[in-house]
Amino acid sequence: MLFLDIRDNDFSEKFGAILSRGEETGREVEQTVLAIIADVRRRGDAAVLELTRRFDRLEAATVAELEVTPAEIEAAFAKVDEADVEALILAVERVTAFHEKQKQQTWISTEEPDIMLGQKVTPLARVGIYVPGGKASYPSSVIMNAVPAKVAGVGEIVMVAPTPGGQINPHVLVAARLSGVDRIFRIGGAQAVAALAYGTETIPKVDKITGPGNIYVATAKKLVFGQVGIDMIAGPSEILVISDGSGNPAHIAADLLSQAEHDELASSILITIDRAFGEQVAAEVERQLTQLSRETIARASWDKYGAIIVAADLDEVIEFSNRIAPEHLELAVRDPFAILSKITNAGAIFMGHWTPEAAGDYLAGPNHTLPTGGTARFFSPLSVDDFVKKSSIVYFSEAGLKRLGSDIVRIAGLEGLEAHAKSVSKRME
């Protein structure tokens, strides 16, 4: 863990390692993924079966055997505690309610008497959602990817998830049923992305792929973009906590570790104007680390990519935060609303001392699929907008074309596009 003053001469050099973590895909990874994609495109189901056998130690005679059956989902409900099901239902209800507010309708404008303009909003026909299944199982990822697709009106939701040894977490299956997932396949990695992008004899081709995964999944999504849509290229998880020295150091430490336990590349950063408070948080992190079942992962993350940074004032803190553009940003200050308007770059903003980032991960309502690695400068959280397409509607009456036609012809002439001009001028003869 780094303990730094933002005004240190070597601050940028020392902090640079955290910013660049996971940045390089690596030529070897890209070549491996390219080969997997080509193999799936060429051999379809046969390639998926072979790659699943190799990477997930899962034997199957056909890809159809890798699809989860309704009976398996019913069995999952029987295994899961009723209280767990109720919690997942609550999460689905709250996430649905939030995303319902994002829906846009087709609209038509008739402000001009001889021209009609508008926008048609159409749900995607079929989407694929990728749910990680390696170091942990994530029913919340199912909810966050499937619910906005369902709210948008997507026709079919196909889910893929790696299941080493064939086992799939029953909570994931319950979340999938509650969220409206239509089909589930026990496949993961780059081969799952390729199968969704191009289709195989059994796995249907989709219009868009969403959801986080490891570096092979992220690379595959990047390489199939254009063949299908994708949500974003998700990198390692991160949290930035802004502190004015108020609040409980134990709470801040717990929030930092909530990201560190994700994986060894996760980054947890506190920036504060109170050095003594930062030192208390550092000590509390060390104490809480020993209490975690995932201590090894969290400690590797904290030791290499954790940081506590001391700044002179909140203006310096906010400037730093906007430059970093964190995935998760906690405003752990006395009056978070006083500085909210100054925050310009963040995936999700958690306000005050009683709003831990974990609340947003599970059932606050907003989506937890967020831009990472500074991409919050130009990317937004996953939303209903990711699962629809918009078509412009244009209608000119004869009077409308004749009213604007000469200017259309003039602009076409500026570009030297004679046929464009004639397609209008001939109608005006």
Say if CB 76 and CB 173 are below 8 A apart. yes
For the residues of 261-288, what is the DSSP string, one character each? TT-TT-EEEEEES-HHHHHHHHHHHHHH
DSSP string, 324-351: H--SEEEEESS-HHHHHTT----SEEEE
Distance between start and end Cα atoms, the chain = 76
CA trace torsion 400, 404, 409, 411 (10° rounding):
-140
Among the listed residues 99, 171, 262, 328, the single catalytic one is 328
Nearest Cα neighbor of 219 from 126, 133, 209 is 209
Element (H, E) at 114: none
User: What own/partner pairs with CB < 8 Å and gap ≥ 24 does 104-107 have?
Assistant: 104/384, 104/385, 104/388, 104/390
Alpha-carbon torsion 350, 356, 361, 365, what sign?
A: negative
Catalytic residue, candidates 238, 261, 264, 327: 327
**Measured distance CA(324)–CA(318) in Å, rounded:** 10
Q: Give the span between the Cα atoms of 108 and 94, in whole angstroms.
A: 31
How far from chain centre, in Å, is Cα 62?
31
Q: What is the token pair recorded at 136? A: 């942990």
Q: Residues with Cβ < 8 Å from 6, sequence gap 6 or more?
A: 271, 309, 310, 311, 312, 316, 320
Spatial separation of the C-alpha atoms in residues 411 and 416, rounded to whole Å: 9
Residue type, 213: G
Residue environment code for 167-180, b if the CB has 16+ CB neighbours within 10 A, otherwise e: ebbbbbbbbbbbbb
In the residue annotation, 368 being an active-site residue is answered as no
User: Any catalytic annotation for residue 24?
Assistant: no
SS3 (DSSP) at 173: helix
Q: Are 143 and 91 in contact (CB under 8 A)?
A: yes
**Catalytic residue ranges:** 327-328
